[in-house]
């Protein structure tokens, strides 16, 4: 499955390179088209980097504690990162292709957990002006969950198939004097289906990502 994900990422990279070649070879023909649409930013940025601060702040300021048998109580300070990169297709400016990296390190009643996730997907925007538009996204990928602790019967690992559907809205912060930065809150529904035959069959979560921002470059 990891080889499959590597092949998908390689294909996505080749798609971005091919689209860049298309952009350069058809730059003259696109000049007239640019007059009828608004680019992602004043400089025509095509790349977007998105980050979520909700879970990072929630983990940093967490006051919860957990205790497992044979060990002292620990603060449940979690690290939950969600990073996303997307590239706007010049041949279809309302569409973006991208990849997403998720990382979670936390403590629960059974011990420590560390989860990784890698997804690839597409974003459809309601407007070619990516900094001021509604959008919907679909991401598919794999996740690897690891548990460490005597309470959970030792170390364990679970492999999951992940699908995430989200809708959101981007608001440009240019009026505040901050260029190329947008506020992009969204609501996402994530499904995780275990593929290793463990006790967990599937899980679903509805996520409200209010402190989310996107940088265009």
All structural domains of the chain: 2-216 (2.40.160.20)
Chain centroid to Cα 29, Å, comes to 34
pLDDT, tens digit, 9 for 90 and up, residues 20-70: 544 555 444 444 444 444 455 444 568 999 988 776 665 555 545 555 555
Residue 102 clears pLDDT 70, i.e. is over it: yes
Cα(182)–Cα(212) distance, integer angstroms: 9
pLDDT higher at 116 or 10: 116
pLDDT at 42: 43
| Residue 5 token pair | 């994900």
pLDDT at 137: 98
Angle between helices 2-25 and 27-34 (to 10 degrees): 80
* Beta bridge pairs of residue 188: 166, 207
Angstrom distance (rounded) from CA 181 to CA 53: 14
Q: How far is it, in rounded angstroms, from Cα 53 to Cα 210?
A: 8
The answer to which of 91-100, 148-157, 178-187 has the lowest mean pLDDT is: 148-157
CA atoms of 144 and 44, how far apart (whole Å)? 37
């Amino acid at each position: 499955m990891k080889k499959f994900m590597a092949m998908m990422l390689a294909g996505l990279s080749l798609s971005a390179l091919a689209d860049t070649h298309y952009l350069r070879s058809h730059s003259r023909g696109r000049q007239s088209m640019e007059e009828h649409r608004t680019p992602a930013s004043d400089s025509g940025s095509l790349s977007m980097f998105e980050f979520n601060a909700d879970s990072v702040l929630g983990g940093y300021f967490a006051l919860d504690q957990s205790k497992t048998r044979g060990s002292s109580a620990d603060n449940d300070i979690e690290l939950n990162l969600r990073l996303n990169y997307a590239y706007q297709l010049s041949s279809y400016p309302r569409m973006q292709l991208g990849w997403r990296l998720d990382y979670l390190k936390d403590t629960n009643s059974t011990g420590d957990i560390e989860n990784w996730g890698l997804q690839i997907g597409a974003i459809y925007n309601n407007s070619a002006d990516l900094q001021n538009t509604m959008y919907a996204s679909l991401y598919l990928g794999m996740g690897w969950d690891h548990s460490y602790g005597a309470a959970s019967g030792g170390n364990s690992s679970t492999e999951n198939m992940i699908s995430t559907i989200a809708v959101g809205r981007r608001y440009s912060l240019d009026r505040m004097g901050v260029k190329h930065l947008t506020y992009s809150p969204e609501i996402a529904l994530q499904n995780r289906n275990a593929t290793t035959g463990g006790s967990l069959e599937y899980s679903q979560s509805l996520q409200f990502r209010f402190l989310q921002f996107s940088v265009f470059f």
